[in-house]
Amino acid sequence: KAGVTQTPRYLIKTRGQQVTLSCSPISGHRSVSWYQQTPGQGLQFLFEYFSETQRNKGNFPGRFSGRQFSNSRSEMNVSTLELGDSALYLCASSGLAGGPETQYFGPGTRLLVL
Amino acid sequence: AQKITQTQPGMFVQEKEAVTLDCTYDTSDQSYGLFWYKQPSSGEMIFLIYQGSYDEQNATEGRYSLNFQKARKSANLVISASQLGDSAMYFCAMRKNTGNQFYFGTGTSLTVIP
C-alpha cells in the first residue's frame, strides 16, 4: 500500500499571502489529522477530518482551516501568513472511526514564511 | 487534559548497546493507546510501536519494546542492539480511545555512537 503523501514538500511564501497544503491518506483510511511542528512549540494538533467532517480541532486561530473531500484527500489552508507560521506541517491518516487506530504520517510540508 | 512528558532532551548510546527512552503520561481516562514514533532528520514520523492501556503484556516490535507500567503511568521505549540508523528524534504519544486526537511529548534526540 502506498503511504501518506503530502504536496508540496517545500514552500516559501511571504507574509500576508495564503497557502494550501494537500494530503492524500493511505488507501482506505478515512481519518486525516494535521499537525504543526516547530522547534519552540513541538508537535501541535491542528484538526482532524473524518468522512468530510471536522471531528476535532486544536487551539489555532481561524486563519487555519481545512477540508476533506469524498475520496478522503484533505487540504489545509492558512490565510494571511505570519512569520510564526513557518513550520513543518504533518498530515497523518488512520483507518476506522473509534478504536486505538495508529496514525501514519506523511513526509510533511516545510513552509517558510519570509 | 492529557499530558505527555519526555524528560530526556538528548541521549547517547554506543552502537550495539540497548537504550531506554523515558515517557510518562497523565490522563484520567481508563482506555487509551500509547505510541512511539521515530523522526529522522528528513522529517517523516515513522510509527514504531503501540501499547493499549488494557494490554497486559508489554508490546514488542523487532528491536523495539515498550516497558508499560500502568500504575506509574509510564511507557518507556527500549531499543535493543542500537544501530547507527537509530539516530533520530523519538516521540511518545497518547491517544484517547474516545476520539482520534494524539498528544505528543517534546521528544528525545537519540545519537548512536560508532
Point out the residue among A31, A102, A108 whose CB comes nearest to the CB of B35: A102
Q: Which residue of A has its CA nearest to B106?
A: A42
Q: Do A55 and B100 touch (CB under 8 A)?
A: yes
**pLDDT tens-digit series, residues B51-106:** 999 998 999 999 999 999 999 999 999 999 999 999 999 999 998 777 678 899 99
**B74 CB contacts (<8 Å, ≥6 apart)?**
B22, B23, B24, B25, B67, B68
Pairing of strands B108-113, B10-14: parallel
Is the pLDDT at B3 greater than 70? The verdict is yes
Residue A64: C-alpha distances to residues A13, A18, A34, A106, B12 (Å): 15, 10, 11, 19, 38
* Residues of chain A neighbouring B105 (CB-CB closer than 8 A): 42
Q: Is the pLDDT of residue A92 over 70?
A: yes
In angstroms, the CA A5 to CA B61 distance is 25
Query: What is the percent of chain B with per-residue pLDDT over 70, rounded to a whole number?
Result: 97
Mean pLDDT for A61-89 is 97
| Structural contact between residues B101 and A56, judged by C-beta atoms closer than 8 angstroms | yes
pLDDT mean across residues, chain B: 93
pLDDT, position B97: 72
Taking residues B33-43, report their average pLDDT: 94
Query: pLDDT tens digits for B59-71?
Result: 999 999 999 999 9
Using a CB-CB distance cutoff of 8 angstroms, which residues of chain B are in contact with residue A105? 37, 44-47
What pLDDT is stored for residue B96 in this prediction? 79
The tens digit of pLDDT for each residue in A7-55 reads: 999 999 999 999 999 999 999 898 999 999 998 889 999 999 998 999 8
The pLDDT score that the predictor gives to residue B17 is 97
Percent of chain B predicted with pLDDT > 90: 81
Supply the pLDDT for residue B100.
74
Residues 32-61 on A with a CB inside 8 Å of B are 33, 35, 42-43, 45, 48, 50, 55-56, 58
